[in-house]
C-alpha cells in the first residue's frame, strides 16, 4: 500500500504542477496579492480537489458516464466561470494592487470554484485511482487517500505562495502588473473557450 501512495503522490504532483487554471490562479494570486492570499486560494483548490478524489472513490465517474449531460452542464458552468475570472483580471489590470485586494474567504472560495467547476478533475482522479489502488478498498483506506491528497496539495500551494512572494518577484510584478494580468486573463480565457469548444 505504501508503494501505491508513492505512485499516487507522484502522479498528483505532476498533475498539480502542470499548466492549467488552478496553477495559474495560484501563481497570479501569490505574486499579486501576497502570501496569505495565495495560501487561501491554494487551500480552496486543495479542498475541492480532494473532494473530487473522494467522489471518484465513491463512483462519481460512473455517474458522469451514465449521464453525460451532467458532465456537460458542469463543463459549461466551469467554462463560463473561467471567462468571468479572465474578464475581471483584464478589467482590473490597470487598477492599483490596493484597490484589487480581497479577503481570504473570497480567495478560498475562488480556489474552491476553480476546481469545483472542473469535472476533468474527478475523471483524472478516477483514472489514477483505478490504475494505482486495489478495488474494494476499506473506507479507512479511502479516507487515507483523500487526506493524503489534501495534505499534498496544501503543502504544494503553501510552498508556491512562499516562493512566489519574494520582494524581487513582487517588485517585478508591480512594474509589469498590467501586462502580466492581461496575459493571465488571455490564458484563462483561452482555457474557458477551449472548454466550451468541447476539448
pLDDT tens, position by position, 55-90: 888 876 666 677 778 777 777 887 787 788 888 878
Residue % of the chain over a pLDDT of 70: 83
Q: Give phi and psi for 165, each to the nearest 5.
A: -105, 45
Give 128-184 pLDDT, tens digit per residue.
776 788 777 888 888 999 999 999 999 999 998 888 777 677 677 667 777 877 887
157 contacts: CB under 8 Å, gap ≥ 6: 26, 38, 39, 41, 42, 43, 45, 46
Give 172-198 pLDDT, tens digit per residue.
766 777 787 788 788 778 877 877 776
Question: How far, in Å, CA of 10 to CA of 94, rounded?
Answer: 39
Cell of 42: 491554494
Cell of 179: 501586462
Q: What is the pLDDT of residue 92?
A: 72
Torsion of CA 13, 15, 19, 24, to 10 degrees: -70
* Whether the Cβ atoms of residue 83 and residue 18 lie closer than 8 Å to each other: no
Amino acid at each position: 500500500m505504501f508503494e501505491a501512495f508513492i505512485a499516487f503522490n507522484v502522479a498528483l504532483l505532476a498533475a498539480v504542477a502542470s499548466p492549467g487554471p488552478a496553477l495559474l490562479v495560484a501563481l497570479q494570486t501569490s505574486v499579486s496579492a501576497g502570501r496569505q492570499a495565495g495560501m487561501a486560494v491554494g487551500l480552496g483548490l486543495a479542498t475541492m480537489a480532494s473532494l473530487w478524489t473522494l467522489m471518484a472513490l465513491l463512483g462519481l465517474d460512473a455517474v458522469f458516464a451514465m449521464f453525460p449531460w451532467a458532465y456537460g452542464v458542469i463543463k459549461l458552468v466551469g467554462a463560463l466561470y473561467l471567462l468571468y475570472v479572465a474578464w475581471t483580471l483584464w478589467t482590473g489590470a490597470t487598477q492599483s494592487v490596493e484597490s484589487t485586494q480581497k479577503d481570504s474567504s473570497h480567495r478560498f472560495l475562488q480556489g474552491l470554484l476553480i476546481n469545483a467547476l472542473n469535472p476533468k478533475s474527478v475523471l483524472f482522479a478516477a483514472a489514477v485511482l483505478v490504475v494505482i489502488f486495489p478495488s474494494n478498498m476499506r473506507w479507512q483506506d479511502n479516507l487515507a487517500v483523500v487526506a493524503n491528497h489534501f495534505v499534498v496539495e496544501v503543502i504544494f500551494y503553501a510552498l508556491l505562495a512562499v516562493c512566489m512572494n519574494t520582494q524581487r518577484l513582487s517588485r517585478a510584478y508591480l512594474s509589469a502588473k498590467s501586462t502580466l494580468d492581461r496575459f493571465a486573463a488571455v490564458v484563462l480565457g483561452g482555457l474557458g473557450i477551449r472548454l466550451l469548444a468541447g476539448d
